[in-house]
């Protein structure tokens, strides 16, 4: 995980459900509200799993992208 342009990158490539969600959840726990987190995943299920988890937990999906067998979900951490 690294920060780039004020976005924390979570590398969840080659991980299957539920691990991409767990990786994002772990990063959210240590990030203040307003932090943007970009999850890079290869499991296509992450395109629905991470947004569903974010909605339930009060976080906002900023963007989703897919290409080259990778799926990128960017979210903004909500208030605790």
Catalytic residues: 17
**Token pair recorded at residue 60:** 């906002």
Please state, in angstroms and rounded to a whole number, the distance separating the CA atoms of residues 46 and 15.
10
Residue 2, classified by CB atoms within 10 Å of its CB into exposed (0-12), middle (13-18) or buried (19+), is exposed
On whether the CB atoms of residues 41 and 13 are closer than 8 A, the answer is: yes
Tokens read off for 51? 């947004």
């Amino acid at each position: 995980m690294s920060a780039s342009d004020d976005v924390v990158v979570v590398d969840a490539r080659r991980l299957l459900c539920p691990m991409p969600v767990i990786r994002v959840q772990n990063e959210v726990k240590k990030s203040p509200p307003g932090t943007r987190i970009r999850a890079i995943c290869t499991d296509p299920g992450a395109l629905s799993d991470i947004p569903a988890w974010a909605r339930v937990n009060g976080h906002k999906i900023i963007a989703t992208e897919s290409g080259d067998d990778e799926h990128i979900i960017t979210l903004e951490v909500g208030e605790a």
